[in-house]
Each structure stands twice: as C-alpha cells, then as structure tokens.
Amino acid sequence: MLVALLLATAGCTGGGAPVTQQPSRAATPCVSKVVQKELPEWARAGFSPGTEPHHVFSGRGDMVAVLFGYPLFSPPRPNRGNKILWVSRLPLVPSKPLRIEARLEGGGAPVRTKVSGGPGPSLIDLPSPGCWRLSLSWSSHTDSIDLEYVAPD
C-alpha cells in the first residue's frame, strides 16, 4: 500500500522551486535527479529560448548545475570533459569562489576544489564512479547536490 501511495504521489509537485524526494540511499544511487528541460527563468541567461540542457537542482534549489558533459565520467573521457555550469539563484559577492567538497557515498576522503570567481563554468573531475555528494558554499550561501559519475565503456 505504501508503494502504491508513493507511486500515486510521485508526479505531484507544486510550482516554483524544484521538489526533491528523499528516497532511501539503498533504493536510488543519487538523491538529486538529472532533468532535461528548459531551465528556470533565473538560470536562462546566455541560453537560447527553448534550450533544454541536462541539469540538476541543489537540495534547497538555490543552485543549478547545468551538465554540458552529460553523463559525467570517472575517469573523464579524453575527448570530452565533465563541464558543469553552476548558476546561483541567490545574490553573489563578486570574486568570491564557489567552494566544493565532494564525498563518495559510503565514505572515503573528501575531494575539495573551487571555482574561481564564484558560480560559473567549471570542469569537475572526481576520482571514481558513483554517487558523489557535493557540499557547496558561495557568497555566504550553502547547499548540496548529488551527482552521479559513471565509468566509461
């Protein structure tokens, strides 16, 4: 009965900020969901009308990661990088970096990197495939996002 209730309500979301379900980590590799549709209005600068890039919203919906390199690979493919455009919904402090601390689900040492100048274009390569939780901090804001990295064929 619980499964039927979850299936019946899975597609019901309100307008505005994205809704992220919190399934058990064992059932779904990553909590954050990659979507391919038009970006929210606040994240469309520089995109042609009707463009539908792959993207992922952070947990609070304050950051969107536009995945130009989708899917993300670990190790990265030699002919294509793991390019991510980070777009903040919240005000930015000029020249403050976006700091990222990534952890592979299940533990391990964190991987730390930063995007100079704040949210914007970046190459984010992580050392192994799996679901990575990225803790983000920028311009006195914080949020997190899960990104799935897959092994190349």
User: 103 lies in a domain?
Assistant: yes
User: 13 lies in a domain?
Assistant: no
Q: How confident is the model at residue 15 (pLDDT cuts 50, 70, 90)?
A: very low
Q: For the chain, what is the domain count? A: 1
User: 90 lies in a domain?
Assistant: yes
**Over the stretch 48-78, which tens digit does the pLDDT of each residue have?**
999 999 999 999 999 999 999 899 999 999 9
User: 51 lies in a domain?
Assistant: yes
Greater confidence, 94 or 101?
101
Is the pLDDT assigned to residue 22 strictly greater than 50?
A: no
pTM of model > 0.75: yes
Phi, psi of 83 (to 5 degrees): -80, 130
Query: Which CATH number do you get for residue 79?
Result: 2.60.40
User: 7 lies in a domain?
Assistant: no
Q: What is the pLDDT of residue 4?
A: 35
Residue 38 domain boundaries: 28-150
User: 20 lies in a domain?
Assistant: no
